[in-house]
């Protein structure tokens, strides 16, 4: 682990005269009826990741629920279909909003519909901010992989092996048999940063490759990925280089899970515990670096 610590990028500086603008603003586009928790977990990941401001944009009927969950974020209602999923007309509102943010996170809890498929494509192709894409946001793009190359800014994708299999048009088992190869190839081919989740998460930009050393099987529970999405968004918003943001996010997320498992056990750990352990994870990272003389 000391070796790995040496590899980790420095954490964003916190100069004494910082203000909330210093740490950027993240726009999270997430959630649908029945999956509103994904928006909450992403939002908490972004807040605990140190973003200066977090906007959680969701289908309009979920807004009160999400607003009541945490007062530290702003909420933003988007047009929805009859099932509480994003409507295509949400795009122009999202595009207005991203003008005032420094990074975007999208996909958690979206559901996959024609609307979200075209929304995902438009966002990838037009958003001028660095963006992390996860979950249904990735599935929505399965047949539109040409979109990635049109991105005007950095894109970080965070699939689990099942999602990555769909993105690569192969079975998850094929992915798992050669995780590094698949991740690297996709990254190179589409010009994105790939975070391939699972045991030994792979982070790659097609050239550099990192295998994460933190995390445990207790994190194999619904919603932990949503926290990572928000956390990655927060580090992008703090102007970290996208590859650095991705590997630091993955490291901290796993470390939070390891600290959580110590207090709550692996089976007893749930996704909503992770944000509470992100603060201690930041402290632990400082301590580990201090010890390593870093």
Q: Which residues are annotated as a binding site?
A: 38, 109, 160, 197-201, 225-226
Min dist. Cβ of residue 149 to a copy of itself (A): 29
The answer to whether 257 and 286 are in contact (CB under 8 A) is no
Nearest distance, CB of residue 178 and a copy of itself, angstroms: 14
Helix (H) or strand (E) holding 202: strand 202-204
Taking every pair of Cα atoms in the chain, the longest distance, rounded to a whole number of angstroms, is 57
In the bound state with a copy of itself, the residue whose beta carbon lies nearer, of 38 and 124, is: 38
- Distance in Å, CB of 108 to a copy of itself, minimum: 10
CA dist 127 and 99 (Å) reads 9
3-state helix, strand, coil in the chain (%, to 5): 50, 15, 35
Q: How many residues does the chain have?
A: 294
Supply the minimum distance, in Å, between the C-beta of residue 182 and a copy of itself.
15
Distances 149 to 121, 122, 188, 201 between C-alpha atoms, Å = 11, 13, 10, 24
Identify which of residues 206 and 223 has a Cβ nearer to a copy of itself in the complex. Answer: 223
User: Binding site for AMP, residues?
Assistant: 197-201, 225
Binding residues for (6S)-NADPHX, by number, are: 38, 109, 160, 226
Nearer CB in complex with a copy of itself: 51/140: 51
Residue 23 vs 91, nearer CB to a copy of itself: 23
Closer residue to a copy of itself (CB): 51 or 124: 51
Q: Which is nearer to a copy of itself, 67 or 145 (CB)?
A: 67
User: How deeply is 202 buried, as exposed, middle or buried, from its count of CB atoms within 10 A (0-12, 13-18, 19+)?
Assistant: buried
Provide, rounded to whole angstroms, the least separation between the CB of residue 115 and a copy of itself: 20
Contact 124, 133 (CB under 8 A): yes
Taking the CA of residue 279 as centre, how many other CA atoms within 13 Å lie in the half-sphere pointing to its CB?
4
Q: Nearest distance from residue 240's CB to a copy of itself, in Å?
A: 12
Residue in the block written with tokens 């102007």: 239
Q: What would the DSSP string read from start to end of 212-270?
A: -----GGG-STTHHHHHHHHHHHHHHTT--HHHHHHHHHHHHHHHHHHHHHHH-TTT--
Q: In whole angstroms, what is the distance from residue 230 CA to residue 46 CA? A: 4
């Amino acid at each position: 682990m000391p070796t790995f610590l040496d590899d980790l990028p420095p954490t964003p500086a916190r100069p004494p005269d910082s203000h909330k603008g210093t740490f950027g603003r993240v726009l999270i586009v997430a959630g649908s009826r029945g999956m509103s928790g994904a928006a909450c977990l992403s939002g908490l990941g972004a807040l605990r990741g140190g973003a200066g401001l977090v906007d959680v944009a969701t289908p309009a009927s979920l807004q009160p629920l999400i607003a009541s969950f945490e007062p530290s974020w702003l909420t933003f209602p988007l047009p929805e279909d009859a099932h509480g999923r994003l409507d295509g007309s949400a795009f122009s509102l999202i595009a207005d909003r991203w003008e005032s943010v420094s990074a975007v996170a999208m996909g958690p809890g979206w559901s996959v519909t024609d609307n979200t498929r075209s929304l995902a494509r438009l966002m990838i192709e037009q958003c001028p901010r660095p963006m992390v894409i996860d979950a249904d946001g990735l599935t929505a793009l399965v047949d539109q992989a040409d979109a990635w190359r049109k991105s005007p800014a950095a894109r970080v994708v965070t699939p689990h092996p099942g999602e990555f299999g769909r993105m690569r048009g192969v079975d998850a088992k094929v992915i798992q048999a050669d995780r590094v190869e698949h991740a690297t190839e996709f990254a190179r081919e589409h010009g994105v940063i790939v975070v391939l989740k699972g045991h030994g998460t792979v982070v790659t930009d097609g050239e550099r490759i990192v295998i994460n050393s933190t995390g445990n099987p207790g994190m194999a529970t619904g919603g932990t990925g949503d926290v990572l999405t928000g956390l990655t968004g927060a580090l992008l918003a703090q102007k970290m280089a996208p590859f650095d943001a991705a590997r630091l996010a993955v490291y901290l997320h796993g470390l939070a899970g390891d600290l959580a498992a110590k207090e709550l056990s692996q089976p007893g750990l749930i996704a909503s515990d992770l944000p509470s352990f992100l603060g201690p994870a930041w402290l632990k990272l400082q301590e580990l670096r201090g010890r390593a003389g870093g």
